[in-house]
A and B are shown apart, each in its own frame.
Chain A
């Protein structure tokens, strides 16, 4: 998992890190039980305030994505979110709304958007497969 930040994206830096870790977790870039980079080395590498990294990890922990083992670091948790199904749905709806609004501004039709979503779902499935089989794509 390689993390990177973009100051121009308009998203606060710690949220960019949260998104990327969640993305890595969803796409197999980070597997259950695998450690996240330590706060200090990551802060040095990205040249951001260590508080920013700490804030991102705290957020990930409160979302139930990672867990901190004292003295050992942060690890990706088993994917069984502590949130109820409806709370999880609400979180996802916000994300979907953002994509819908963006699609509207970019003048992408509804059917095109749906096709795109399907395409991404397929892409993630393929990536997960490769991560699990660790075999290259045909």
Chain B
């Protein structure tokens, strides 16, 4: 495979359920070796998009390509190179943990047995237990083992950590970073949809925020943290400020809190010219950017 070929390419994807547009003209590109965040509110179209990538749903218009291939025409070629952890994990209840992994392995050309043993130990899963008796956290852990052991080039995670306790969530992410990513870094791509953004913050290279089936914002994570800033200032007395261009302004007496979208220099200059008693700037985290994108949307409207 040409390394320049994007791992995922979504172009003007449209998918309707009846008259409801779940995804309405979405485009995004994920290059190899990246960890790509796919953020959106409940019902924004995240899962629908992912199901189109996996050929579990057919697009109504536009198209998706995975490894440069059409998942509808090359289903096996695509699926053999990726693994998917859905938000609701289901296994055959009569199988044990060991049976389940063996069953999953039977579909794969590669299966890392050492890694499987390591992860079972790490998660303290009993290989002889029936999957029916597993907790939600243990099911997700089992699904993650099943997804990582084939050493796929692409790991698709759909709300993987929702409903899990903080310790299981932490272990989950550490496993993605450690066991999955360290294999062959240039060819380990992660596509993760989530609204628990803070946990994945350090992992995300690039992200897309989707809103009502459309792309609202696509950015590199470092660039986004550089662009969106929260500026706080306190003045000796109440002053009039010209804050046009600020994304959002909150005032409380002599204090003001401003959300800047790429124009923090100009806003800072304006604040400084009024001799503030105190002035501080911090970057927004990705989660705060996601929340702020709601304001952004209203500004566009």
Q: Count of A-B contacts with CB under 8 A?
A: 67
Q: Are B202 and A51 in contact (CB under 8 A)?
A: no
Which residues on the A side are within 8 Å of B177 (C-beta)?
40, 43-44, 47-50
User: Contacts A7-B225, A13-B222, A51-B33 known; A46 to B283 CB distance under 8 Å?
Assistant: no
CA distance A41 to B174 in the complex (A): 9
CA distance A54 to B21 in the complex (A): 42
Residue B35 is within 8 A (CB to CB) of chain A in the complex: yes
Taking the closest CB of chain A, its distance from the CB of B116, in whole angstroms, is 18
**Number of B residues with CB within 8 Å of any CB on chain A:** 28
Which residues on the B side are within 8 Å of A106 (C-beta)?
279
**Number of A residues with CB within 8 Å of any CB on chain B:** 22
CA distance A47 to B177 in the complex (A): 7
Residue A8 is within 8 A (CB to CB) of chain B in the complex: yes
Q: Which residue of B lies closest to A52 (CB)?
A: B202
Taking CB atoms and an 8 Å cut-off, the chain B residues in 238-282 that contact chain A are 272, 279, 281-282
Residue B15 is within 8 A (CB to CB) of chain A in the complex: no
Residue among B33, B201, B282, B286 making CB contact with A9, cutoff 8 Å = B282
Task: Report B111-143 CB contacts with A as 1/0, cut-off 8 Å.
Answer: 000000000000000000000000000000000
Taking CB atoms and an 8 Å cut-off, the chain A residues in 46-103 that contact chain B are 46-52, 54
Contacts A13-B222, A40-B177 supplied; 8 other A-B pairs, CB < 8 Å: A7-B202, A12-B222, A41-B178, A43-B181, A43-B182, A47-B202, A47-B203, A49-B177
